[in-house]
Amino acid sequence: MQFLAAAEILETDLWQQYNELGGVDGGNAAYVAALQNLDADMPQYITDNTDDEVSHAAFLNAYLMSRGADPVDLDEFRTLPSSPATGARQVGRLTNLQKLVVDTSFYTRYRSSENPDLGGDFAQAVKIVNQPAIPVNDTETPPSTGQPVPPVTSAARRMQAIANTASFHFGYIEQGGASLYSSMALKVRDLEVLRIVISIGGVETDHFSLWHDKLGNAVAQPLAGVTDPVTGVTFPDLNNPATELSQTNKILPEPADFLRNGLPEVSVMRPTLTENAGAVATIKSFTADRLFEGQSKKFFATVTALAEAADAARRGF
């Protein structure tokens, strides 16, 4: 539960950055407009997802204390710079959204009948490497840029690619949360804690489902085909050709292998094994995402210790 509190604090930190720039009161007009090219309700969804994470973190820490356990405090690691772009508060951050390597294999994984827990291997839907997910500064990504569909100017293409990256990052983060909670549920001994883990975990899955739908608009007409002029990251039309593993409207989990061979395919969260979905796997994945770029050795030591303790938890018999 302490690791989950840490994970929720980290989630809150990244969602707050998205919310300041692109939420309902989002301060960066061009970013908001580019997000709204994916769905007019994107700012509302971003703000609501942020509220959820704030509530998850606050509840888990309060619950830990109510049971006589130590809460988790990562404040000393709020050392990373904010984006200087219009809209972002200038405060220290835990996470870095400026140079993400987004693992988009969840997109093909949930369209496939293979399961990573049974050795399944999945292609990237979009190659998003060293790409910002929030505006970088007012010179390179001016907040006054018009954002028509499709974007015509270089500045508009850059901002749209940044918003598209955010949408895939939302899906990536939340599918990870869904798998993490499923994996942690298997370790819980206390029924009240189990109730918490499955009840919050269900909302992580809800988040994933929402973003899985919205991000498809970045890789469908009329928006598909945007290339970031700086990084070269391209969002192709995944409906051309439409295949089971690519078409954007297949957002509900396809039935897949589960547990072992010989059982029928079933629509489930995956992965859920500790080695693929647990706490250490989550920190490794977020590190590969470059979400912690610039963090201190002590930060990695702290979150890794919490993760190892979580993965070592056993429900007994």
CB of 291 to Fe ion, least distance (A): 14
- If the CB atoms of residues 155 and 178 are measured against Fe ion, the closer one turns out to be 178
- Is residue 13 near Fe ion by the rule CB under 5 A? no
CB of 208 to Fe ion, least distance (A): 8
Give dist(CA 94, CA 175) in Å, integer.
20
Please choose, from the candidates 194, 237, 210, the residue with its C-alpha nearest in 3D space to the C-alpha of residue 1. Answer: 194
The letter for the amino acid at 249 is N
- DSSP character at residue 256: B
- Is residue 109 near Fe ion by the rule CB under 5 A? no
- Is residue 311 near Fe ion by the rule CB under 5 A? no
**Torsion angle in degrees (nearest 10) through CA of 298, 302, 303, 304:** 90
- Given a contact cutoff of 8 angstroms between Cβ atoms, the answer to whether 307 and 279 are in contact is yes
212-271: contacts with Fe ion (CB under 5 A):
none
The letter for the amino acid at 167 is S
Structure-block tokens of residue 270: 């995956």
R_g of the chain computed on alpha carbons: 19
- Is residue 103 near Fe ion by the rule CB under 5 A? no
Selected from 204, 228, 257, 289, the binder of Fe ion by CB under 5 A is: 204
- Given a contact cutoff of 8 angstroms between Cβ atoms, the answer to whether 168 and 104 are in contact is yes
Please choose, from the candidates 267, 289, 68, the residue with its C-alpha nearest in 3D space to the C-alpha of residue 169. Answer: 289
- Is residue 207 near Fe ion by the rule CB under 5 A? yes
CB of 45 to Fe ion, least distance (A): 12
Q: Return the range that interacts with Fe ion (CB under 5 A); candidates 46-54, 94-102, 152-160, 245-253.
A: 46-54
Selected from 56, 93, 212, 214, the binder of Fe ion by CB under 5 A is: 56
- Is residue 53 near Fe ion by the rule CB under 5 A? yes
Instruction: Count residues near Fe ion (CB under 5 A).
Output: 8
User: What length does the chain have?
Assistant: 317
Selected from 87, 177, 201, 271, the binder of Fe ion by CB under 5 A is: 177
CB of 299 to Fe ion, least distance (A): 20
Interacting residues with Fe ion (CB under 5 A): 8, 11, 53, 56, 174, 177, 204, 207
